Amino acid sequence: MDVLGKLKLVESELASILQKNGITMPKTAIVLGSGLGDVADAIVEPFVVSYGDLADFPVSTAPGHKGRFVFGKLGDTPVVIMQGRVHYYEGYPMSDVVLPVRVLALSGVENFVLTNAAGGLQDGMQIGDLMMITDHISTFVPSPLIGPNVDELGLRFPDMTHVYDVEYQDILRAAAEKTDQKLLEGIYAQFTGPHFETPTEIRLFGKLGVDVVGMSTVVEAIALRHMGKRVAGVSLVSNIAAGMSDELLCGDDVIDSGLIAGPRMTALLTEAVTHFA
């Protein structure tokens, strides 16, 4: 099946589940990164659709990823939360990695907040810090748009000048102030993983202007901008990048830092989404 055929199939399956249960598709989606799944606990009267309930939907195998959509209100704002995503390192083709966000976009979601756990390079960064993504480097992973262009989704050569919506960046800054917390800003670079970087690679990426490194988000942001959707991004610093501290890196860091920073991320996003169009 081609990319569009598969998207439409999953979209119609999701639509029929929602229709049967009287749920309308909200305008805003939040994708929760590794370790951040607890943010979904803030949803009032959640309606859950497991990815496994949708035929042909890629199911996440990453730790800390529940693999489901949670529909409901965050504060007073209707949202859909993706509690878990799939990663390129799990072996899925890029078209499957971006399928979940594309399905939501096709279903009528206009605004996307992409979150992730990331390794921090920026001077002074600490585990548990939140960083608003102002731009990204996609150069080290294949584009999700490789292959025949799906004209129904967007242009062959989409502009990437303002991937992270400038107005939504202002909203996030204001939300950080209102919820009385520090929000760093910087550049996210995506790598395939699943191995972490070497200290030499991290020194190189630091010279390239990278502030945090991770294994997700950028390809989703590209697929969504291709479709003309509005994107915001927030990273949780789950560890200091390789070779920049005395610690060795471990996959469990994302879970531990998620527990520390989950409530702050929830407060930030609950405030921010009230101001999204």
CB atoms within 10 A of CB 259: 12
Q: Tokens 């029929």 label which residue? A: 16
C-alpha dihedral sign at 273, 119, 217, 81: negative
Cβ distance to ligand HPA smaller for residue 3 or 213: 213
The C-alpha atoms of residue 222 and residue 121 are separated, in whole angstroms, by: 23
213 binds ligand HPA (CB under 6 A): yes
CB atoms within 10 A of CB 11: 18
Select the residue interacting with ligand HPA from 36, 62, 118, 272 (CB under 6 A): 118
Tokens of 100: 């979940």
Which has the closest alpha carbon to 186: 214, 162, 209? Answer: 209
State in angstroms the smallest separation of the CB of 191 from ligand HPA.
6
Residue 72 or 262: the one with the smaller Cβ distance to ligand HPA is 262
By CB under 6 A, is residue 122 in contact with ligand HPA?
no
Chain residue at closest Cβ approach to ligand HPA = 119
Residue list 153-182, contact with ligand HPA (CB under 6 A): none
Which CB, 120 or 144, lies closer to ligand HPA?
120
Query: Of 221, 259, 217, which Cα lies nearest the Cα of 115?
Result: 217
Q: Is 254 in the site for ligand HPA (CB under 6 A)?
A: yes
**Which string of x and - marks every residue 183-212 that binds ligand HPA (by CB under 6 A)?**
--------x-x--xx---------------
Calpha distance 39→168 (Å, rounded): 20
Counting contacts by CB under 6 A, is residue 90 touching ligand HPA? Answer: no
CB of residue 103 to ligand HPA, shortest distance in Å: 25
Q: Is 217 in the site for ligand HPA (CB under 6 A)?
A: no
Please list, in sequence order, all residues whose beta carbon lies within 8 angstroms of the beta carbon of residue 65, skipping any fewer than 6 positions away: 34, 37, 83, 84, 85
Does 105 interact with ligand HPA (rule: CB under 6 A)?
no
Among 249, 255, 274, 275, binds ligand HPA (CB under 6 A): 249
77 Cβ contact list (under 8 Å, min separation 6): 26, 28, 270, 273, 274, 276
Q: Does 239 bind ligand HPA (CB under 6 A)?
A: yes
Give the interface with ligand HPA as residue ranges (CB under 6 A).
117-119, 191, 193, 196-197, 213-215, 238-239, 241, 249, 254
